[in-house]
């Protein structure tokens, strides 16, 4: 098809409209400058202010990152238990502050957490570092020029994965102390727990104005498994800056993801070989992402749901049960269906449907599924490589159907700049009616939002405070940007 440019993509396109800087070694991470070859036009362009802030943030990561004098000094203070180089009202000008992210659960969760933490780091001038107990360092290239975002091996705080909101350093405890600012200054670090199980007090973090007291903490450690950007848009402290960064609110993840996430060469090989072999030459591509939360065995009601959704929304043609109405012609339209899921059963059924019978439209429908891992094995590099390749491939389709509640699906459509048809999560093993709905935007859903209005300091329906933060289609209490 004509819209996959083969060569001579201009430098501006290659750098995704200024999102990326030139100068990285191309061969060591092919996806960084080659992804534009595999994409139609950018769904959204970065604002000049976003581009400016990214360049400033790169300078900050370079000045503060691992291997620098600033990092050595900050890490030494952390081990010595004397954190207070930043005591007093303001941190020393130019002093480095850090946000250490402890991602966990599946890869989709990790990716949403990384994008959210990165935006928070930009808003609060902190260098972002990732705990490396996951496979993230093997599947993603470094996003910042000349500075690693991986936490060095000898980080003074051990077992980051075991931190919870119960530790004395947690935001939960600090926010409840009489003099929070003084408490922050006494702690070696502040731990922000944004797990599903976090409390009302943990979630007050979403109303925190960093300048008030968190800026005194050179080290902020954070545990989260999801997308918390919608909550940042509800915090008055960040409103003006976020408006300038993102004049359009519906593509925050899209832009952050294109800046941050560049698959390593091995993963890029999985992506491009699959794309070139199975997707490239079709007239149209449909992605179908199947995620089942009730166990790994196949379910008839979920197959029924996929078929009902794709039929009602005219995403796949109907088949004829008798003789084909017209003999197949060589000029027929071709549609490639990319299916992803842990099980191959749904794929086998849909492929058989279009092999067994002709389509009413005469279209040729080919159905592919790159892998069927059967069970989730997050943290194992080969398993995670396949998961990333499949999310990325989903983003290379033209239209996409996803499973509600799935962060895997959010990343697939978010990366692609695609507004999905979301299949509702089934209850009582029954196909929901309607089976799916077109989403309001391409943004991921925040699953554990605050129910508190930062301005009035009262409980509130946070889906009703500003027009661009609304409840999600697939989770009634969730929040998403539109
Ligand atoms: P979520 O649980 O749907 O929100 O998505 P996550 O990505 O956070 O966790 C699910 C994990 O299960 C993925 O990261 C993969 O490890 C695995 N998984 C689930 N669905 C698929 C799939 O379609 N393909 C592959 N390769 N892995 C999957």
pLDDT tens digits along 45-71: 999 999 999 999 999 999 999 999 999
Give the ipTM of the model, two decimals please: 0.99
pLDDT of 279 > 80? The answer is yes
Average pLDDT over the chain reads 93
Is the confidence at residue 23, as pLDDT, over 90? yes
Domain coordinates of the chain in residue numbers?
Answer: 43-260, 265-324+331-444
For residue 80, whether the previous peptide bond is cis, meaning omega lies within 30 degrees of 0, is no
Three-class secondary structure of residue 155 per DSSP:
coil
Q: Give me the pLDDT at residue 328, please.
A: 61
- Look up tokens 């954070």; give the residue: 222
Strand duo 469-471 + 479-481: pairing: antiparallel
Going from the Cα of 395 to the center of ligand 1, the distance in angstroms, rounded, reads 15
Total H helices, total E strands in the chain: 17, 14
> Residue 5: pLDDT above 50?
no
pLDDT score recorded for residue 132: 87
Query: Residues with Cβ < 8 Å from 75, sequence gap 6 or more?
Result: 152, 155, 156
Locate the DSSP E strands across 304-424.
334-340, 364-368, 399-403, 421-423
pLDDT at residue number 213: 84
How many angstroms is it from 413 CA to the middle of ligand 1? 14
Q: Cα(299) to centroid of ligand 1, in Å?
A: 18
**What is the rounded CA–CA span in Å between residue 38 and residue 275?**
9
Backbone φ and ψ for 337, nearest 5 degrees, come out as -110, 120
Q: Which of 376, 386, 445, 447 to mutate to test the pocket of ligand 1 (most atoms within 8 A of CB)?
A: 376
* Residue 464 CA, ligand 1 centroid: distance in Å: 31
Task: Look at the domain 265-324+331-444 and name its fold.
Answer: Rossmann fold (3.40.50)
State what percent of residues in the chain have pLDDT above 70. 94
What six digits make up the tokens of 45? 């362009």
pLDDT tens for each residue of 108-151 = 999 999 999 999 999 999 999 999 877 899 999 999 999 999 99
Q: Are 333 and 363 in contact (CB under 8 A)?
A: yes
**Measured from the CA of 405, which atom of ligand 1 is nearest?**
4
Percent of the chain with pLDDT over 90: 84
Minimum mean pLDDT among 5-19, 186-200, 205-219, 419-433: which range? 5-19
Distance CA 270, CA 283 (A): 22
DSSP symbol at 455: T
pLDDT digits over 144-200, tens only? Answer: 999 999 999 999 999 999 999 999 999 999 999 888 888 888 899 999 999 988 999
Ligand 1: which of 401, 408, 420 to mutate, judged by most atoms within 8 Å of the beta carbon? 408
Residue of 109, 138, 387 best suited for mutating to test ligand 1, as the one with most atoms within 8 Å of CB: 387
Reported as a pLDDT band with limits 50, 70 and 90, residue 81 is confident
Name every protein residue with a CB atom under 6 angstroms from any ligand 1 atom: 105-109, 291, 340-342, 371, 373, 376, 378, 383, 386-387, 390, 406-408
Distance 404 CA to ligand 1 centre (A): 13
Q: How far is the CA of 78 from the centre of ligand 1 (A)?
A: 36
CA of 376 to the centre of ligand 1 (A): 6
Minimal-distance CA residue to ligand 1 atom 25: 387
Nearest-CA residue for ligand 1 atom 27 is: 387
């Amino acid at each position: 098809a004509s819209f996959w440019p083969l060569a001579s993509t201009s430098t501006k396109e290659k750098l995704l409209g200024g999102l990326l800087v030139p100068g990285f070694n191309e061969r060591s991470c092919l996806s960084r400058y080659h992804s534009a070859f595999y994409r139609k036009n950018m769904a959204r362009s970065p604002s000049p202010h976003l581009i400016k802030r990214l360049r400033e943030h790169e300078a900050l990561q370079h000045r503060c990152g691992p291997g620098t004098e600033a990092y050595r000094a900050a890490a030494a203070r952390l081990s010595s238990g004397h954190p207070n180089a930043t005591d007093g009202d303001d941190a020393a000008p130019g002093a480095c502050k850090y946000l250490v992210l402890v991602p966990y659960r599946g890869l989709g969760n990790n990716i949403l957490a990384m994008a959210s933490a990165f935006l928070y780091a930009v808003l609060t001038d902190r260098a972002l570092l990732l705990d490396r107990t996951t496979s993230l360092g093997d599947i993603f290239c470094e996003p910042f020029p000349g500075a690693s975002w991986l936490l060095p091996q000898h980080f003074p705080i051990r077992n980051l994965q075991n931190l919870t909101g119960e530790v004395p350093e947690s935001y939960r405890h600090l926010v409840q102390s009489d003099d929070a600012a003084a408490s922050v200054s006494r702690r070696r670090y502040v731990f922000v727990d944004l797990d599903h199980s976090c409390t009302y007090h943990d979630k007050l973090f979403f109303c925190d104005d960093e300048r008030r007291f968190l800026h005194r903490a050179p080290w902020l450690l954070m545990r989260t498994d999801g997308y918390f950007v919608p909550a940042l848009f509800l915090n008055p402290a960040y409103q003006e800056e976020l408006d300038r960064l993102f004049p359009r609110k519906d593509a925050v993840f899209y832009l952050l993801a294109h800046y941050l996430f560049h698959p390593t060469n091995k993963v890029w090989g999985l992506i491009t070989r699959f794309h070139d072999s199975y997707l490239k030459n079709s007239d149209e591509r449909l992605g179908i992402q199947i995620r089942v939360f009730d166990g790994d065995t196949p379910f008839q009601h979920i197959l029924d749901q996929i078929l009902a959704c794709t039929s009602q929304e005219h995403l796949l043609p109907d088949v004829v049960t008798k003789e084909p109405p017209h003999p197949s012609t060589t000029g027929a339209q071709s549609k490639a269906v990319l299916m992803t899921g842990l099980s191959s059963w749904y794929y086998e059924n849909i492929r058989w449907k279009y092999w067994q019978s002709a389509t009413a439209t005469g279209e040729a429908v080919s159905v592919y599924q790159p892998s069927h891992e059967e069970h989730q094995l997050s943290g194992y590099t080969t398993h995670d490589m396949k998961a990333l390749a499949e999310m990325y491939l989903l983003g290379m389709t033209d239209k996409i159907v996803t499973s509600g509640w799935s962060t895997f699906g959010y990343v697939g459509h978010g990366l692609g700049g695609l507004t999905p048809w979301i299949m509702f999560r089934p209850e009582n093993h029954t196909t929901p009616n309607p089976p799916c709905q077109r989403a309001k935007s391409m943004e991921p859903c925040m699953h554990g939002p605050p129910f508190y209005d930062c301005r009035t300091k009262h409980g509130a329906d946070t889906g009703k405070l500003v027009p661009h933060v609304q409840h999600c289609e697939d989770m009634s209490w969730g929040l998403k940007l539109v």
